Amino acid sequence: MISEQEILSASILIVDDQIANVQLLEQMLRTVGYQCIASTMDPYTVCALHRDNNYDLILLDLQMPGMNGFQVADGLKEIEIDGYAPIFVVTAYPDQKLRALASGAKDFISKPFDLMEVKTRIHNMLEVRLLYKKTEDSNKVLASLALHDALTGLPNRRLLMDRLALAINHARRNKGLMAVMYLDLDGFKQVNDTSGHDAGDALLKMVADRMVAAVRQEDTVARLGGDEFVIALWELSHTDGVAKLASKVLQAVSQPYNIQGHSVSITISIGVGIYPEHGEDAKTLLKSADTALYEAKHAGKNNIRIAKSMVIQY
């Protein structure tokens, strides 16, 4: 639901070439309690103003010199590509009602108008507009949640697979290298058991931040769930770069953490798969890295293993 205060706080733009009409509408709106009111007598500025301010309602006169309201409405529809241009037409020509609605206006009132009717129509249109925006925002949040881990904000498996496919295709086209690091925290269950899940969640978020800081901007750090992470390394010039980046991540994660006033230390094991040597598609590459991770864990943890390669211990 939209509250009365939300409606009165909505942003409104008055567009009319007659100063008397602007003053009348502005006085009416302020008397009701609307707080965010702007106006312009120049129709050529409307689209730029709306692009900058994203008004919740535009009170638009149709008959203006140089550029009429229909032309303004056409420009506003190009900005509001989602299909909801918040245009409320005010005109002295009621026979233009159908044309105004066809041009994208959501409502219409004829001059001279009844103030109570205008107030009611504006209130109702703003309520619909704000509900629409709230729904749109909720949909954006849901879309983001579908691609990102709720705890850390990192890409989830779905987004990781898209990024991996892009990185592999790029490497294939350029006959280059890329790599995947599969990471797992050593002893994370013990942190949860001794300090509680809140501490465990705080630790995971800190670990995620350190991983992101340790790799390059073009690389992707993702959380698959629990204490499992994957890092997709974009274009690499040579395989030595993989070991250096993995070592940098391992050392960054292994530094002590301050959680709830206590110092917490944890290590990490890393398995690495390199394209094209250990797989030419995302699924195979991840499997190679996962197998290398298992071997790294078996070898004593806190180390890096490159698929079909040697263990690097620290």
* Active site members: 227
236, 179 in Cβ contact below 8 A?
yes
Distance of CA 61 to the CA centre of its chain: 36
Residue among 290, 202, 208, 210 nearest 248 (CA) = 210
| Three-state helix/strand/coil letters over 157-189 | HHHHHHHHHHHHHHHHHCCCEEEEEEEEEECHH
Q: Which residues contact residue 217 at a Cβ distance below 8 angstroms, ignoring those fewer than 6 apart?
A: none
The end-to-end CA distance of the chain, in Å, is 57
Between strands 36-40 and 107-110, the pairing is unpaired
**Side chain identity, residue 112:** P
Instruction: Annotate 55-123 with DSSP letters as a single string.
Output: -SEEEEES--SSS-HHHHHHHHHHH-TTS---EEEEES-GGGHHHHHHTT-SEEEESS--HHHHHHHHH
232, 178 in Cβ contact below 8 A?
yes
**Side chain identity, residue 11:** S
> Within 13 Å, how many C-alpha atoms sit on residue 149's CB side?
22
Residue among 285, 284, 303 nearest 293 (CA) = 303
